[in-house]
Structure 1
Amino acid sequence: YNVLNTISAMCEMEQGEDASRISHMAAEYYRSVLSDGQDIVSIEQELEHVQLYFDITSHSRSDKIEYTLCCEPEAARLPIPKMTIQPLVENAVKHAFFRPGGNKLDVSVSVRGGQEVTIIVADNGVGMDTAHFEEVLSGRCEGHFGLYSVRRCMELLCGGQYSIEAISEKMKGTEIILRYNAGCISANGREHD
């Protein structure tokens, strides 16, 4: 809804070119979310989706977020459930940043042994305590569906071949670390192209 409100406000302020650009980004974003019904995409496709999310979000927030997306070339074609990284990023964007400037978010993807994927989403925001993180992961925390949905999806596809953890320090930031075996996703999910 924020995107639609932003587009509406731009139209009212006669910023037609910006409104058009955001409309196109939003259409591409939702096209990416639907992905022709695919449940499994490549990490590269998932990061393109995250890039679109950042592009759209930058127009609807007054405070800017500096971000980096880094992916080892060997990891780019590996499979990942669609909407795995983006909810982790969105969680940071929504809950970590409460200051007007200096907000940073880094997403990195690496692979070991050709199959063991590590995704780190790190912010320099307000941080969270371990008990709150566990509550969010369990689904008992209202308004925090993203982390829970990532955990459930990975649990269903990978069984015990995944982990998700948080390393956090109050007022210094949080790292969400997701590890999984890409082989279990290829075997259990609908293949990516």
Structure 2
Amino acid sequence: MSSMLNLSAQQKEHGDFADRIFEECGVDVRRCYQCGKCSAGCSVHICKGMGVSPNRIMRMVQLGMEDEVLRTRSIWACVLCSTCTARCPRDIDIPRVMDTLRIMAKKRGITEGFNNASVFHEIFMNSIIKYGRVYEAGLLVALKLKQSGTMFDDLPIGIPAIINVAFRLPKLPPRMKNSNQIRKVVENCKKIEGES
């Protein structure tokens, strides 16, 4: 018995997922013809940080594999650097799609791969609200403390990195002149989010 997937039937039956992505972010994922240039240039994928490559994510969206896509670690591992978009011959804004997939996953309560991203986001935003910009050393310590049991996981790469950049990082948290304006922007964003 063959376990081959009928791509045309799958796309016809579940094509509304690509339509919903288009409605949410204005990116037509169906334009992707799987050349793989996005994945070949993705530093996160190359370093094995993604379970599913960017071009495969696009294909899964085309095929309407909504549940599978929203459960991949890849949508959270994407750093939104836009290298994929710069390389794409079809000008598909893959980071915008990834961000839309994150929002969809969060709304549906799908948390696989999200917990660490959520912790990072919370600490990152708290640093910006408090200091007006990111305090890198504080971010690192707070992240490691929140992710219990991972304090020494990155030691082999962490020590050389610290030695290499320690003199460049600020020793004390920075203070920006207009950090209160940043606080107001964040408060307004929270209000808007609460209204929607």
The normalised TM-score by structure 2 is 0.27
Higher normalized contact order (CA 8 Å, seq sep 6+, divided by chain length): 1
The normalised TM-score by structure 1 is 0.27
Structure with higher helix content: 2
Structure with higher strand content: 1
